[in-house]
Structures are given as C-alpha cells and as structure tokens.
C-alpha cells in the first residue's frame, strides 16, 4: 500500500526523522539511536517516508544512507502555498479590523 505525503508527515516520529536527515544522510541504525524505539519500528517509519518519496536511499558499501528529498517537499510546499496566500489575506483583514476596533475605543 502506497502512503501519501500527508499520512507520512502526520506522524511526529516521521517528521523528526525528516528533520534529522534534512542536514545529513543517516543509516537506519543511526536514526534508531536517536529514538526510544526499536530498529524495526524506525524501519517501518523509513518505509513510509520512502514510499512517499520524501527520502531517497543510497547504497554505500554495506550501508544504506537515507537522504532528504527536498524536491518532493517542494511539491508539498507549492501546494500549501496556495492556501498560505489566502490565510495571509484573511489575517491581514483581521488585523485591520482589530486595529479599527481599538481605534474606536
């Protein structure tokens, strides 16, 4: 079963894994050391992130290093951007309304 990006980032552990490898590729064992859970549990999270293409594996000798896939995250950010613009407009309108109410008092 292929997961979508929203399922992947909904989980706090998967978000933490993404934050970890955003700056440095890590092996599953190195990731597991950062969490209070088994290597198998971390591997399940890695599998979901990989299925969603948020991380990319790279074989180096006997080790597999996982890298953050910024391109896939950019696709997500582009999608969110359309809503961000609308939210900013609404927040600006709310700020103006509150400023007007404050001025009247």
Question: Are residues 53 and 77 both part of a single domain?
Answer: no
* C-alpha span between 79 and 6 (Å, rounded): 12
Mean pLDDT of the chain: 91
Render 14-57 in DSSP notation, one character per residue.
HHHHHHHHTTS-B-HHHHHTTSSS-HHHHHHHHHHHHHTTSEEE
Question: Are residues 62 and 74 both part of a single domain?
Answer: no
Structural domain of residue 89, as residue ranges? 70-105
Greatest C-alpha distance within the chain? 71
pLDDT tens profile 69-93:
999 988 888 888 889 888 898 999 9
Q: What is the pLDDT of residue 85?
A: 86
What are the beta bridge partners of residue 59?
A: 64
Residues recorded for the chain: 105
Question: Are residues 25 and 75 both part of a single domain?
Answer: no
Indicate the number of domains in the chain. Answer: 2
Higher pLDDT, 99 or 65: 65
Question: Are residues 63 and 82 both part of a single domain?
Answer: no
Q: Are 51 and 2 in contact (CB under 8 A)?
A: yes
Question: Are residues 74 and 104 both part of a single domain?
Answer: yes
pLDDT tens profile 5-59:
888 999 999 999 999 999 999 999 999 999 998 999 999 999 999 999 999 999 9
| CATH label of the domain that carries residue 36 | 1.10.10.10
Q: Assign 1 a pLDDT band (cuts: 50, 70, 90).
A: low
Residues 6 or more apart whose Cβ sits within 8 Å of residue 38: 32
* C-alpha span between 95 and 25 (Å, rounded): 42
Question: Are residues 91 and 62 both part of a single domain?
Answer: no
Does position 2 have pLDDT exceeding 80, yes or no?
Answer: no
Question: Are residues 48 and 79 both part of a single domain?
Answer: no
Average pLDDT over residues 1-7: 79
Question: Are residues 53 and 76 both part of a single domain?
Answer: no
């Amino acid at each position: 079963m292929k997961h979508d990006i929203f399922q992947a980032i909904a989980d706090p552990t998967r978000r933490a894994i993404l934050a970890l490898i955003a700056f440095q590729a890590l092996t599953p064992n190195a990731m597991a050391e950062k969490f209070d859970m088994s290597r198998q549990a971390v591997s399940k999270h890695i599998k979901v992130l990989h299925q969603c293409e948020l991380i990319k594996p790279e074989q180096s000798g006997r080790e597999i290093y996982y890298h953050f896939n910024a391109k896939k995250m950019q696709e997500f950010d582009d999608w969110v951007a359309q809503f961000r613009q609308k939210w900013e407009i609404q927040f600006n309108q709310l700020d103006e309304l509150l400023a007007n109410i404050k001025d009247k008092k």
